[in-house]
Amino acid sequence: MKKYLGVLLPFVVLFSLQTRAQSNSAFVSAADQDLTIKTVTAVPFTDNIKGIYANPLYKKFQELLTNDKSWSYEALPDKTVTPLDLDENPNAVKGFLNSAKAQGLFSFRITKGPKGLNGKMYFFVGSSGMPLLQEELSDYQGFEIADLEKQVQRMYEKIKSRLPYRGMILSRRGQEVTINLGFKNGLKNNDEISVIQILKVNRHPKLKFMISTEKEILGKIKVYKTDEYLSFAYVTYEKEPGTVQPTAKLLPQEFIQYAEPVVQNGQVIPGLENRKDRDLSYGDNPREWLPQQAPQYGRIAILAGLGNYSISTNLSSGSIDASTPMAPEIAVKGELWISSEWNILYNIRQSVFSVSNPLAGSTPGKLNMSLSSYGVMGAYNFLMSEDFFGPKIQLSAGYATYNSHSDQSTPLAFTNMNYGGLVFGLLGQFPLTTEVPMDLGAQFNMFMSPSMSESTASGDSSKSSINQFGFFGVYHLKSRFKIRGEINFEYYSSDFSGAGSGTHTSTNTTQKMTSIMGGIEYLF
């Protein structure tokens, strides 16, 4: 008996070690775990026309998910409400995923605009609650439900095709594995499939959806039997014993095949770059074509122009006025896009000119003047379509200053005046047509109880008011460069009461500025 045990013991130990090696769990990255999708769900679709499109499209989409063999579908509870900002609300996404016990979540919003129907479909995956993929429907002219169902199915299939893998290993026994792909997925016997692990998901810096992934090849399998949505294969290669495990991702080899580049005399057919007529195709200084990325972070505009400026002061001795029709101006304006809705605005403007001294007996006869204004504001955009660069209404609030400085004459004609205060803004902008790449807009700023200080007090107390409004046009030269033109109207008024400093006492001072400016705008 002991003799037989001594013979069998090495085989038992060897078998147990091999089984243990195959059953040990290999290291799985956090990114790979997030992308292990077995169950999906979908929040109710939304639209801007009381569910006329959203409700029937949502029912059709539920049928689509139910019939898909790639994963199982778990419906959310009835009367689930979908937030409009779901793509920017990761906590809500995680709540929906936990409620359905799912690893993937679809959402879709369709809006009816002046050019047609627009829609965005998002696919959320992972513990972060951020969107993994998105597909868009832009200015679609069809309005029939049946046509829109096809568009929704097309967007769904495009999202699936952009996933960084095509299937998963369901189980393993020895060298044999079962996978969730079949001949309905284009698989056939003797196909070789790479087994991969996803190490990292690279996301868009602003919009957060996936732009690429970093993968590691764990091994390869070869298919020997296929069913509709199921296949059987055996492991032909793996980095270490037991590396290929259930939930490992699959990536079929989809290489491009070419005919043999050999002519009858045995020479290799030359490429286009080596032929004598290469210049007809390549031209001078050929370079690889690369698509230009759309602006993502903001814009800056540099403007210059002329203004018609006038100032009027009611002194105790009488009224004095000064003006110039040619006041040169420069301005810098910018926006920083925190998101598609929230922006930070800033502007700087300077003007330097001279006017005749209107006060009789006062010297010097010419007064040099400088105007400057600065402002920083936060803004919220109400987008009228899915396009960020489409029609919109913008509400803003912040702090702005206006400074008017003049040479100090003897006797004193004009004081240095500094305005500042909380400002609220309203802006509207819309594109003309698709044929004319131009936007038109208007803006209005209202100051709330602005403060005013002077170098020499014109009275004991003062009350000021400021009005600013203007119109602008933007012509699109390229995706990042635009020509901008503006016409602006400004009015500053201060009423004084009581006695001023020294001999300078006035009851009212007003300043008016009408300016026309133009320049270049760069989007980055």
**pLDDT tens, 404-462?**
999 999 888 999 999 999 999 999 999 987 778 899 999 999 999 899 999 888 888 88
User: Are residues 485 and 351 part of one domain?
Assistant: yes
- What pLDDT, on a 0 to 100 scale, did the predictor assign at position 290? 67
Q: Which of 161, 187, 213 delimits the end of a domain?
A: 161
Residue 323 is assigned to a structural domain of this protein? yes
Q: Which of 129, 161, 193 delimits the end of a domain?
A: 161
Q: Which residues make beta-bridge pairs with 347?
A: 333, 375
Kindly report whether the peptide bond that precedes residue 10 is cis, defined as omega within 30 degrees of 0: no
Q: Tally the domains of the chain.
A: 3
User: Are residues 474 and 371 part of one domain?
Assistant: yes
User: Are residues 104 and 188 part of one domain?
Assistant: no
| CB neighbourhood size of 150 (10 A) | 12
298: left (phi over 0), alpha (psi -120 to 50) or beta: left
Phi, psi of 23, rounded to the nearest 5 degrees: -90, -15
User: Are residues 489 and 431 part of one domain?
Assistant: yes
User: Are residues 178 and 134 part of one domain?
Assistant: no
> Within 13 Å of residue 66, how many CA atoms lie on the same side as its CB?
7
User: Are residues 186 and 126 part of one domain?
Assistant: no
Range of the domain at 48: 37-161
CATH number at residue 195: 2.40.10.410
Q: Which of 218, 234, 252 delimits the end of a domain?
A: 252
d(CA 197, CA 215): 6
Residue 266 is assigned to a structural domain of this protein? no
User: Are residues 432 and 319 part of one domain?
Assistant: yes
Kindly report the pTM of this predicted structure: 0.51
Tell me the two tokens of residue 367: 């007064």
d(CA 167, CA 181): 6
User: Are residues 470 and 380 part of one domain?
Assistant: yes
Going by pLDDT thresholds of 50, 70 and 90, the confidence category of residue 267 is low
Mean pLDDT (whole number) for 109-135: 92
User: Are residues 69 and 52 part of one domain?
Assistant: yes
User: Are residues 330 and 456 part of one domain?
Assistant: yes
pLDDT digits (tens, 9 = 90+) for 156-199: 999 999 999 999 999 999 999 999 999 988 889 999 999 999 99
User: Are residues 389 and 353 part of one domain?
Assistant: yes
